[in-house]
Amino acid sequence: AQTVTQSQPEMSVQEAETVTLSCTYDTSESDYYLFWYKQPPSRQMILVIRQEAYKQQNATENRFSVNFQKAAKSFSLKISDSQLGDAAMYFCAYRSGFYNQGGKLIFGQGTELSVKP
């Protein structure tokens, strides 16, 4: 079975600085997708960034980028120029590329990010 681990329950960053959130996963599959979701206090789940396992290039979305290390099964999220609005719970998630898995997301435990002004 696949697992996702986020070893940092809480992180803190100064406004305008850079922070990296860690995520490791375990799978024997070759076809899968990895995601970072943001959950602010409103509890809405917001997709931050997505990475296809078959792509070697790291995904980027504006101030958000990932460091995808497939061999090490590591998928960290870097937030540059942190803003107060980035404060939220961040979840790393895995989804199998195999249709018989039903497309379910397997989540890590989450990292609570606070941003100091």
Partner 1 sequence: DTAVSQTPKYLVTQMGNDKSIKCEQNLGHDTMYWYKQDSKKFLKIMFSYNNKELIINETVPNRFSPKSPDKAHLNLHINSLELGDSAVYFCASRKSTGGANYGYTFGSGTRLTVV
Given the rule CB under 8 A, which residues bind partner 1? 31, 33, 39, 42-45, 47, 50, 52, 89, 91, 95, 97-99, 102-107, 109-110
Nearer to partner 1 by Cβ, of 74 and 109: the residue is 109
Residue 83: both structure tokens together: 């803003």
From residue 33, give the alpha-carbon distance in Å to each of 40, 51, 59, 93, 95. 23, 6, 12, 8, 5
Could you identify the residue written with the tokens 């959950």?
39
Nearer to partner 1 by Cβ, of 100 and 117: the residue is 100
Q: How far is the CB of 80 from partner 1 (least distance, A)?
A: 23
Nearer to partner 1 by Cβ, of 18 and 44: the residue is 44
Q: How far is the CB of 56 from partner 1 (least distance, A)?
A: 16
Of 110, 107, 111, 112, nearest to 4 (Cα)? Answer: 107
- Round to whole Å and give the CA distance between 112 and 90: 6
Q: How far is the CB of 19 from partner 1 (least distance, A)?
A: 19
